[in-house]
Structure 1
Amino acid sequence: MAQAPSILNADRGRASATALGVLCLLASVQVVLVTKVVWDASRRPEITAKPGSSPGVNPSETPLTPVRPTISFSPPAVGQIVPALPPVAAPAPAAPSFSPPAIGSFAPPTGTPPAVRPATQPTTPPAPAVAPASQAPAPVAATAKLPTPTPAPAAKMPSADPAANMSLEEMIDLAKQVRGLGDMQGALEVLRRADLQYPASPEVMSETAQCYETMGLGDKAAALWRQLESMDPARAAGFRDLAKRRLSTPAAAATSPASTAFSALTGGEGGKMLSLGACLTARDPASTNGEKVVLRIPILRQGNGNVDPSQVDIDVYFFDRVNGEKIAQTIADEPVSAWAAAPVDWSGIGEEPLDVTYFLPALTPGEIAAHGRRSYHGYVVRLYYQHKLQDVAAEPRDLLDFGSRTPQTVPGGVNPLLPPLTN
């Protein structure tokens, strides 16, 4: 076998020497690094004893690799009502178990790591507990609970319906005004809405019956008058007497529009120009030295003819109950009358109310011995126009049988009961 040339042997020797030198250098570096690690480990207990420094980390050394800071919340002290501090960036974790070992070291960190917050703890701080009043600090203005503002009431929008927010009296007046204009359907619509708000009201039933009479619907009108007649007298009051009067007149039986048109052309029912509405009484509770009752008498125009106020006469008779047993004509003062509205001309809705006041002073012992103990019992009203009887009203109704027969005419002259007319 031939030997290798000498030039190849020389190159192989230089390569071996170079490799051996590199290995020796690497071994020296490893020895130095191991020695440094051992030296650092022997000094770790002294470093952790210093306050404010992280265990196992030399404060003088600057880490070669930056560590990502963690976000944490600082909850308030127990019992203190203050808002939690906003999240801040915390410095590098202080726990040595979460810190990487020194560069070039393969040994695990030594020493006992301090207790740290678990990584799975929720970031939302718990609700702080309220401390007792004696221990609670002064409240912070920023955390004070503001009172709940009271919302302003919504503005009530006006209704397009004029009868939406009316009282019963206002709705009756509106129906009368519409009826006076000749709009029977409009008047009945107002009365229908009034009946929904005030069911079985005698005022609504009476006005509805009068509308039916004007329209010639006598059967419907008579049915309503009968309902009013059968009502409780304490509730129906003068409307019950009005119903009896309407049912007793021949016009109540008229069912055809022709009869109604004839009444309008002749001036009213059977040539009558006026009639009495539902008379109502009201006691005055403020009267302490006697008994005072105000009687309101509605005087209605019949048909479309013009009424001469100077030709109107009215007689009002009051009656007393004596000793709670018998009925006698009153010994009260002369009645005082006054028109409720001016001027008195029966225009518009064709109704003029007259107020007549009954007043019985407190009786002396001598008057009681002579006349007995007396109290208000009822009234009788007779209405005349041009000296002809137009209508009669009474409450209670049986007072119509009291005394002599009602005269059909009255002598001419000035009626002292009626107040002077004002234009």
Structure 2
Amino acid sequence: GGSSEGSTLGITEATVMETPDPEADTNLMLRIGIKKQSKTVIDHTKVKIQVFFYDTVDDKDIKLTDADVTYEWLTPNHDWAGTNPEILAVTYLRPKNKVLSPEAALSAAAASVNPGKKGRASKPGPSAESGQRKYLGYIVRVYYHDQLQAVRAEPSKLLKLYPPSPTASP
């Protein structure tokens, strides 16, 4: 244990801000501060940051999001040359009417036909296309030289469901 001891990089902040957006169901920005813990010179090409957003589907299943996720550094260099944290902004955007590909629409339609229940297949409700997804939370993992440095998750139960691997997979 004690992985936070002696780690090279730490997460100083992880803040979610929701942006009111009439065009989107959900528009969030996760702001992540990553700071070096020691005087080490950081080889920034060896830093790997993984961000996962999770949704609840129909208020029961937890799945990796299918929203659009984009990354943007807010600090100019992000090389950890100084002692200040480098700030990464990750945007989670779910457009209002997510257009389903024909395959997805087809499989969703097939899934809504339930042979075991009578009279269900007549008119699928609005949530039939792949379940009603709601933003649940995120997991942030920071690796350096493929070793896990820091993890932050909200809600923390996501860490129990998806424990981080100690080394970064390619």
What TM-score do you get using the length of structure 1 for normalisation?
0.32
Structure whose residues are more often helix by fraction = 1
Using the TM superposition, give the Cα deviation of residue 370 of structure 1 relative to its aligned residue in structure 2, in angstroms.
Answer: 3.3
Change (3 A) 1:377 1:305: same
Higher relative contact order (CA 8 A, sep 6+): 2
Kindly provide the CA deviation profile for residues 273-329 of structure 1, in whole angstroms up to 9, marking residues without a partner as x: 101122000011034233111001111101111111111001111111222333222
Q: Could you say what secondary structure the match of 1:371 adopts?
A: coil
Kindly provide the CA deviation profile for residues 223-268 of structure 1, in whole angstroms up to 9, marking residues without a partner as x: xxxxxxxxxxxxxxxxxxxxxxxxx9476xxxxxxxxxxxxxxxxx
2:162 aligned with 1:371, yes or no?
no
The residue number in structure 1 matching 2:124 is none
1:191-340 correspondence to structure 2 within 5 Å: 249=2, 269-270=5-6, 272-333=7-68, 335-340=69-74
The residue number in structure 2 matching 1:392 is 151
2:76 aligned with 1:342, yes or no?
yes
The residue number in structure 2 matching 1:74 is none
Distance 1:291 1:359 in 2: 6
1:12-27 correspondence to structure 2 within 5 Å: none
* Counterpart contact for 2:33–2:88, Cα < 8 Å: yes
Distance 1:289 1:297 in 2: 22
1:80-119 correspondence to structure 2 within 5 Å: none
Give 5+ residue unaligned stretches, structure 2: 109-126
Aligned length: 145
What TM-score do you get using the length of structure 2 for normalisation?
0.75
Change (3 A) 1:345 1:376: same
Which structure would you say has the larger Rg? 1
Kindly provide the CA deviation profile for residues 96-117 of structure 1, in whole angstroms up to 9, marking residues without a partner as x: xxxxxxxxxxxxxxxxxxxxxx
Distance 1:313 1:300 in 2: 13
Distance 1:398 1:302 in 2: 26
Change (3 A) 1:250 1:323: closer
Using the TM superposition, give the Cα deviation of residue 348 of structure 1 relative to its aligned residue in structure 2, in angstroms.
Answer: 3.3
Q: Which among 353, 363, 371 is matched to residue 87 of structure 2?
A: 353
Distance 1:273 1:350 in 2: 14
The residue number in structure 2 matching 1:410 is 168
Distance 1:279 1:327 in 2: 21
Alignment RMSD: 2.3
Give 5+ residue unaligned stretches, structure 1: 1-247, 252-268, 413-423
Distance 1:393 1:309 in 2: 20
Q: Could you say what secondary structure the match of 2:129 adopts?
A: helix
Percent identity, aligned pairs only? 34
Structure whose residues are more often strand by fraction = 2
Distance 1:331 1:345 in 2: 30
Distance 1:327 1:401 in 2: 12
